[in-house]
Every structure is written in structure tokens, then in C-alpha cells.
Chains A and B, each alone.
Chain A
């Protein structure tokens, strides 16, 4: 009896431990398979071709610059929308809203985070893009701006929840101190609470960027899918094509192991590295902030 109990305990502990390590294994596996299928591109496509401004795989033009600028333009636009709205909503929920309002808003924002991106893309095609075409008098409503608008909506819940956690974590005594000195609640928010939550807010924004740059279905459906270099201000109101949309749109039609196939994996690798960079930067901000807080408190 004793013996079998020990054995079971041992096996279960090992199983749990192995599961604990699984996250590392998966990240490594993902990176390995992207490398395995993506790296051959560097041998098959000349670097001058790969870094050119022409993406036309049928005639062996594999310039990824239009795709990168497409992703950038859409993401920057999305952040211009999502940053103020996200931080504003987080401040409202955590600092201003009465309790009952908070109980309504928090699940609603969570709900937005859970809305399938394909549903947003669907509404983008049917409602947002026709509206923008007429309202802004454009030749087509499927533009980078349309993508930014919807992508902003997708990035907002991420920003709100992380920023709100950060604001919540600011000790109440900070606020009380400011009020006692005669500051209004508004002054307290801007000069005390937000600065104290700065690192959390920064993390929120970075995770929002990560969410926006990686979004696929919505941008594929509403940005018009035109792989042209987007470097002028007007590009925002013309069709573009992002890295994610390119992979999603073309992977279904390529032959396994072809140059095109490898190049799409190469783009996936670039996306993976971008998200890795963004997330490591975001989490190191949090770690540093935690350490500083510990130092101050001890």
C-alpha cells in the first residue's frame, strides 16, 4: 500500500513536471519548424529579390518589403486608435466608473476580446468599408485605414485589461496622499496614478502592438490585398497587403516545398521573431518594474 502510493506520487509528479516544461518545448518546436521550412528561401531567392518592392510570386518576384510596410501601416494606424481608447477606457474603469458600471464594462470589453476576428472582418466588408468609401469618397473602401479601424477594436481589449491591472496595482495610499495634498481626482490620475503604473501601461501598449501585427483574418478581409509599397501618407487610404494576410491567402495554393512555400514560411519566421521581440520586451519591462517595487518597499 505504502509502496504503491509512493510510486503513484512519483509518476504523477514527473508527469506534472513534464507538462510544466511543455511551453518551452512548444516555443522551440514552433521556431524549429519555421526555420526548417523558411531558411531554404535564403538559398533559393536572391537577397536583392527578397528585399525588393515587388511581390509577384507567379513570376518569381519575392520582395517582402510591401508586405512589411503593409503590416506597419495598418498596425501604426490601429495603435493610433487603440492607444488613446484603450488607456482612456482603462482609466475610466479603474479610476472613475462607479462600481456597478465597472461590473458591466469589464465583461463587455472581455467579450470584444473574444469576438472571432472573422466576424469583425465580415462586418468590415458589409458595413465599415462601404461607409468609408462613400464618406471619404474613395475608389474602394477596402483600405489600410479600414484595417486599422477594425484592428484597433481588436487591440483595445488587450490594452484595457493589462493597463487596468497596472492601475489597480497602484497602492491606494498614493492616491490618498495626493488627495490629502489638495489635488483633484483628475490631477491625481495624471500626475500620480498613471506615472506610477507607467511600466504596466507600456506593457499594455506593446502587447497591443503584438496583437495587432499578428491579426490575420480581419486584415485579410478588409485591407484590399494589394501588395504595393506603402510609404506615402496616402497609402493609408489605399489597399495594402500585410504579412499575415499574405501567408493566409497564398499558403493554400502553393506546392509543398516550392520556393513560394519556403518564402511564406520565411515571412512566418519574421512574424514569429517580431512577436518574440515584442513579448520579451514587454515582459522584461514588467520584471524590471517588479524589482523596482520590491526595492522601494523593502
Chain B
């Protein structure tokens, strides 16, 4: 035993090489399945994609036809979530970055944000059911689901937007204020403008999470099957993630092709949003002069 230990201390460069190889392997074990998953779904799902699949209604108990209502429903939910969470989230970030000083209240706000980020998505679903669907009587609707998703998205938007705002150098603010601008004018014309790419990245990542979530909309707005598109915010709606859940667990003898096709469309949504966020961020970083 001792000699082994000795061997290792003597051969610490060998140890290093073995260790580095092991750590590299671990990183690969983490990353390769992600790439594999994406490629696999692309390959399996591609044959199902057609104009009819994207623009058609489900037929024959969802075993035929397209997934248009689910796609439109997901777009509605994303839009509804954005309407509530983007202004509120950015305003909260402005408060934390530009107005709040380090008081116990501010610390409580931060702890609240961390906790909002950690609450299980199904608990958001319960909350949405209790407050929006039943107490406020919105019913199972796009409105109730969007509001539920908004609160879930809020911490992502607040924390990324705050980070972007804080990255704007203090001297920008000092100069603007010394030229006679008010605090709000400074924020609106200088700070927000400079932080915009960072904020946008946060907004997209937040909405991305909302688009992919199923549990919060299960009892607040998701419909198993709708033969038509939702006509108002008070209608329930089909949504891509819930639809994928339904057709992969609840419908017997579901053609595998349609399942992979649906997974591919959902993945395409998520990947596109992720890509846009990454591009905005890296372009802003390259352009930044401070």
C-alpha cells in the first residue's frame, strides 16, 4: 500500500496524466449524450416532417394528420408569458441593479428570487390552479397557463437582466447624470440601451424554459385534444410538450413516426431560441468596447 502511494507521489506527472484523462472522459460522458440525443431525434423525426404535419389538424385520434393546434398553442403560450414576464422581470432587474441598496429588504428579494427559481414546476401548476383557474375564475385557459408560466420564468429574466445591467460601467451613468439627465432618463437612454443584448438573451432563455415546460400547464391550460384553434385567451389550448406527453404515454398504438416528428418540432423550437440567444450574446461581447 505504501509503495503504491510512493509510486504515485514519485510519478505525480503520471498521476496528472491519468487524472486529466479521467476528467476529460467524464466531460465527454456528459456532453456526448446531449449531441447524440439531438442528432437521433433529428434523424428519426425528419421523415415525419411535411407541410401537412406542420399545418394540418390531428385526425383519427391524433394518429394521423398534423400538429398545427399544438404549434399555435405553444406560440400563444410563449407570447402570453412574454407579455407578463418581460416587463415585470426587466423592471424588477432595474430596481435591483439601479435603485436598491444592500438592505435586509433587498436581501429578502434576492432570496425570494432564488426560491422562485427552485420551486418545482408541478408546484407552479398547483399554484396556478388554485389562484388563476379557481380563485380568479379564469378557468383552464391560455390566460391562466401564461400567468403561471410567467411567474415561473420571472427569476430567469430578473437574474440575467440584472447581470446585464450591472455590467454597464458606472461611469456611463455618472456622465449622463452630470449632463443633467434624470435617473430614469439615464436608465432608459443609456443603461438599458447598452444592456439590451444581455437582457434579450435572458428573455429568450426564460421563454425557452416556458415553451418546454409541461407540468405547470397540465391543470391550468393544456387541452388533450382540440379540433380547432383557441379563439380567445379564455380557451384552453393544445401545446407541443403536453402533446408529446399525451401521444407517447396516453394514446395506444400511436405511430412512432408522429411521436418523433412532434419531438423534433419541439426540439427545433428550443434549439432555435437557444441559438438566437447564443448568437446575440457572442455578437454583443465582440462589439463591446468597454
Interface residues of A (CB under 8 A from B): 5, 8-9, 12-13, 15-17, 19-24, 26-27, 29-30, 33-34, 36-37, 84-86, 88-89, 91-93, 96-97, 105, 107-112, 114-123, 125-127, 153, 156, 160, 184-187, 207, 210-211, 213-217, 221, 244, 247-248, 251-252, 256, 264-265, 268, 271-272, 275-276, 278-280, 282-283
**Contact between B111 and A115, CB atoms less than 8 A apart:** no
Residues 123-137 of B, flagged 1 when their CB comes within 8 A of A and 0 if not, give 111110111001100
> Within the complex, what minimum Cβ distance (angstroms) separates B23 from chain A?
5
- CB contacts under 8 Å to A, within B78-117, are 87-88, 91-92, 94-96, 98-100, 108-117
**Residue B144 at the A interface, CB < 8 A?**
no
27 A–B pairs (Cβ distance < 8 Å), ordered by A: A19-B94, A20-B92, A20-B99, A20-B109, A23-B109, A24-B108, A24-B112, A36-B130, A92-B24, A96-B20, A107-B278, A110-B274, A114-B208, A114-B274, A115-B212, A116-B213, A118-B244, A119-B37, A119-B244, A217-B241, A248-B122, A251-B126, A251-B219, A271-B123, A279-B115, A283-B110, A283-B111
Secondary structure at the A interface, as helix, strand, loop or mixed, is helix
Given contacts A13-B99, A16-B91, A105-B27, contact A27 B127 (CB under 8 A): no
Within 8 A of A (CB), among B239-281: 241-242, 244-245, 248-249, 256, 259, 263, 266-267, 270-271, 273-274, 278
A23 contacts B155, C-beta separation under 8 Å? yes
**B286 close to chain A: CB less than 8 A:** no
A121 to B244, CA, bound (A): 10
- A275-B119 CB under 8 A given contacts A122-B244, A283-B114: yes
Q: With A23-B92, A213-B120 given, is the CB distance from A118 to B23 under 8 Å?
A: no
Query: Which residue of the partner chain, among B88, B121, B184, contacts A19 with CB atoms under 8 Å?
Result: B88
Q: Is the CB of A272 within 8 A of B119?
A: yes
**Contacts A34-B123, A115-B270, A221-B245 given; does A248 touch B91 at CB 8 Å:** no
Chain B contact residue count (CB 8 A cutoff): 89
With A96-B24, A160-B30 already in contact, the answer to whether A121 and B91 are too (CB < 8 A) is: no
Contacts beyond the supplied A36-B130, A119-B241, A275-B119: 15 A-B pairs with Cβ under 8 Å: A16-B98, A27-B116, A37-B130, A115-B34, A115-B37, A116-B211, A122-B245, A156-B30, A184-B16, A187-B12, A221-B245, A247-B125, A268-B122, A268-B126, A272-B123
Minimal beta-carbon separation of B173 from chain A (angstroms): 15
Q: How far is the CB of A224 from chain B (nearest CB, A)?
A: 12
A108 touches B35 (CB 8 A): yes
Going nearest first, the 6 A-B pairs with the smallest beta carbon separation are A214-B120, A20-B95, A116-B212, A88-B26, A19-B91, A186-B16
Residues of B within 8 A of A265 (CB): 126, 130
B192-232 interface bits toward A, Cβ cutoff 8 Å, 1 = contact, 0 = none: 00000000000001001101111100110000000000000
Tell me, in angstroms, the Cα distance from A5 to B185 when the chains sit together.
10
**Given contacts A116-B213, A252-B218, A283-B114, A89 and B30 within 8 Å (CB-CB):** yes
In the complex, chain B residues whose CB is within 8 Å of the CB of A275: 115, 118-120, 123
B123, A268: Cβ atoms closer than 8 Å? yes
B235 CB to closest chain A CB (Å) equals 18
B154 in contact with A26 (CB, 8 Å): yes
B33 at interface, CB cutoff 8 A: yes
Q: Are the CB atoms of B30 and A116 closer together than 8 Å?
A: no
Does B174 sit within 8 A of A, measured CB to CB?
no
Residue on A nearest B150 in the bound complex, by CB: A26
User: What residue of chain A has the Cβ atom nearest to residue B107's Cβ?
Assistant: A287
CB closest residue in chain B, given A24: B112
Q: A34 and B130: CB pair below 8 A?
A: yes
Flag if A119 contacts B266 (CB, 8 Å).
yes
The reply to whether B33 and A153 form a contact with Cβ atoms under 8 Å apart is: yes
CA–CA, A157 to B99, complex, Å? 32
Contacts of A33 in B (CB 8 A): 126-127, 130-131, 135
Q: Report if B151 contacts A (CB, 8 A).
A: yes
Question: Residue-by-residue, is B166-191 near A (CB-CB < 8 Å gives 1, otherwise 0)?
Answer: 00000000000000001110000000
Q: Is B13 an interface position by the 8 A CB rule?
A: yes
Contact A119 B267 (CB under 8 A): yes
Is the pair B123, A118 in contact by a Cβ cutoff of 8 Å?
no
